[in-house]
Amino acid sequence: MKVLAIGDLVGNIGIKELKKHLIHIKQVEGIDFTIVNGENVAEGMGITQQNFKDILALNIDVITMGNHTWGKKDIFTFIDHPQLIRPANYPKGVAGKGYSIYSCHNQKIAVINLIGRVDINVLSENPFIIVKEIVEEIANQVDMIFVDFHAEATAEKIAMGYFLDGKVTAVFGTHTHVQTADEKILPKGTAYITDIGMTGPKYSVIGMDLGASLKRFETTLPERYKIATGEGIVNGVIFDVDEVNHKVKEIKRLYL
C-alpha cells in the first residue's frame, strides 16, 4: 500500500497546485491513501468551509491541522467531520478530535495529528505523553499508524521520531514549509522525515509575498503578510508500506 502525505497547503494556490498534479501523482505512484495538512490554506491562516470542500473534492482521505487550526472561526461548523483532525494535544474538551481511524483496502489506518511545544506560541499539552496514550489505546485496533507532527524545532521532531520508533508506521513533520532531505527508516522500523515541505507559491518566503516579507526583516516594522503569487510547487512524501508486516519498505520525497 502506498500512502501520500502532502505538505502544508498555502493559500488557494496550494489547492490549485494540488488539483493540477494530484491525479497524475496517484496514477504514476499508485497511491492508495492521501493525507493533506490544511492549516495554512485560508490565505495562510486556518481553513474555511469552502477550502475544506475544495480539498475533499480532490478525493483526499484526511486533512490535518496545526497552530492555525482556529484561524478561521467557521471551522467550528465542520470541526467534527470524520475527515478532519486537529492536534491531539490541545487541552481536553477542545472541539474536534486529534486522531481518527480509516479503512483502505481492508487495512485499518490511524492518523494522529500533534503540535510541538518548542518555539510555537500555543499552550498545548505534552505531545510525547499524549501520543503515547493514544498509541497504547489503538495499537490493537489498527494495522498502520501515521503521525503528522506539526512542530517548529528540528530536535523536537527528531526526538518524536525515535520516541515512536517501532510503535507507529511513520512520523512526518509539517509546519516549517521547507522540505528536509533526511527521510529514513529508523532502527526499529518506523519511517521518518523532519518536514515534508509545503504546497504553494514557489518564489516566496515560506509561502508569503517577497516584498512584504523582506520589508519586515529589513525595517523591523510591522507589515501585513500576504500570499505570494506566481508559479507553485507541490511537496510531500510517499510511504510504500508492506501490507503483511505493516512496515514501510520505502520512503520517498515528492517535489514538483
Positions annotated as catalytic residues are 68
- The SS3 call for residue 24 is helix
Cβ contact 99:110 at 8 Å: yes
**Looking up cell 483526499, which residue turns up?**
60
Question: From the DSSP assignment, how many helices (H) and strands (E) are in the chain?
Answer: 5, 14
- The SS3 call for residue 205 is strand
How far apart CA 226 and CA 249 sit, in angstroms, is 40
135: left (phi over 0), alpha (psi -120 to 50) or beta: alpha
- Enclosing H/E stretch for 240: strand 235-241
C-alpha pair distances (Å), 88 with each of 91, 147, 161, 188, 239 = 8, 11, 17, 24, 22
Q: 201: which strand partners?
A: 232
